Structure 1
Amino acid sequence: MRLPHRSPLEALYEIVTATTRGAEPALAKLGLTMPTVYVLWAIDPDEPPPTMKTISERIDSTKSNLTFTTERLVELGYLTRTEDPSNRRFRVLSLTPKGRKARKAALDALNAACPLRKLSSRQLDQLFAILGPTLED
C-alpha cells in the first residue's frame, strides 16, 4: 500500500521515476540513457535539423553536457553532427535512419512504461486540461 502523496511534485516525481525504471531495459538494449533519450526526443524528425544551441535550450542542458551526450549518440550511429549550412559557427544535429528507429523505440518504451497509460481517454483529457495552464508562461 502506498502512502498518500504529500505534494503534487512528489506524485509527478513518482510517475517519472516509474516510467524511467520501467523503460530502462528497453533503453539499455538501444545503448541509451535518459540524457541521450532527451536529445533524441528533442529532435523532431519532421523538422529541419536543429542546431546544438536549439537542443541545448529545449532540454535545458549545458553546452558541455550536450556535446558529451551527442558524441555518444554519434558513436551509436543515431546522429550526425555537421556544420550549419546557413552559419558555419553552429553545428546541426540530424537523426540517421538508425536514429529515427531508436527514437521511436525509446519513446514507445517510455510510453509503455508510463503509469498514466492506465487512465482512460477521458481521464487523460481531464489531466491535460488541468496541467495545461500550469505550463503556460
Structure 2
Amino acid sequence: MPLPPHTPLEAIYEVVMATIQRAAPAMAEYGLTMSTTYALWAIDPDEPPPTMKVVAQRLRCSSSSLTFTSDRLVKLGYITRTEHPTNRRTRLLALTPPGRAARAAALNALDKASPLLRLSETERADLLDVLTRALVLEPEAPDAPAASPPPMPAPHP
C-alpha cells in the first residue's frame, strides 16, 4: 500500500506508478514492458522516422539503453532500425504496421488505467496546463553562474 503523497512530486510518482501497474496486463498482451512502451511512445507515427539519438533524447536515456530496448522492439516486429540515407553512422527507427497497432493499444491502456480519469475534463485540462508550465525551462543568461541544485527534501516519518 503506497504512502499518501506529501508533495506534488510524490503525487505525480504515485499516479504514474498506479497507471503503469494497472496497464501492465494490457501491455503484456503485446509483449511490451513499460520501457518498450515508452520507446514506442517516443516514435510519433505522424512524423518522419526519428534517429536513435532523437529517441534517446526524448526518453532521457543513454544510447546503449535505447539499443537494448530497440532490439526487443525489432524482435517483436514493432519497429525497423535502418541506416540513415545520408549518414551511415546514424540509425532511423520506424514503426511497422504491427508497431503502430501495439503503440495505439498500449497508449490506450495507459489512458484507461490512469487515476487521472477520476478528475473532470476541466481539472485534467488545468493539470496539463500547470504541469506544462512547470516543464518550461527558462534560458540561462550567457554569463550567469550555474544554479545550484535545490536541497533534497527531508524524508517523511
Question: TM-score when scaled to structure 1?
Answer: 0.95
* Distance (Å, rounded) in 2 between the aligned partners of 1:124 and 1:49: 30
* Distance (Å, rounded) in 1 between the aligned partners of 2:32 and 2:3: 32
* Distance (Å, rounded) in 1 between the aligned partners of 2:47 and 2:3: 44
Q: Write the mapping of 1:64-79 to structure 2, written as runs, cut at 5 A.
A: 64-79=64-79
SS at match of 1:82: strand
Tell me the CA shift for residue 4 of structure 1.
4.5
Show structure 1 runs of 5+ residues with no match. Answer: none
Number of equivalenced pairs: 137
Relative to its length, the structure with more helix (as a share) is 1
User: Which residue in 1 is equivalent to 2:17?
Assistant: 17
Tell me the CA shift for residue 5 of structure 1.
2.2
Q: Which moved more, 1:126-135 or 1:55-64?
A: 126-135
Q: Give the counterpart letter for 1:66 in structure 2.
A: L
SS at match of 1:87: coil
* Distance (Å, rounded) in 2 between the aligned partners of 1:98 and 1:60: 25
Tell me the CA shift for residue 86 of structure 1.
2.4
SS at match of 2:88: strand
Tell me the CA shift for residue 130 of structure 1.
2.1
* Distance (Å, rounded) in 2 between the aligned partners of 1:116 and 1:92: 34
* Distance (Å, rounded) in 2 between the aligned partners of 1:33 and 1:52: 19
Larger Rg over CA atoms: 2
* Distance (Å, rounded) in 2 between the aligned partners of 1:114 and 1:70: 26
* Distance (Å, rounded) in 1 between the aligned partners of 2:10 and 2:81: 37
User: Which residue in 2 is equivalent to 1:131?
Assistant: 131
Show structure 2 runs of 5+ residues with no match. Answer: 138-157
* Distance (Å, rounded) in 1 between the aligned partners of 2:135 and 2:120: 22
Tell me the CA shift for residue 115 of structure 1.
0.4
Asked which structure has the greater RCO (Cα within 8 Å, sep 6+), the reply is: 1
* Distance (Å, rounded) in 1 between the aligned partners of 2:76 and 2:16: 25
Relative to its length, the structure with more strand (as a share) is 1
SS at match of 2:45: coil
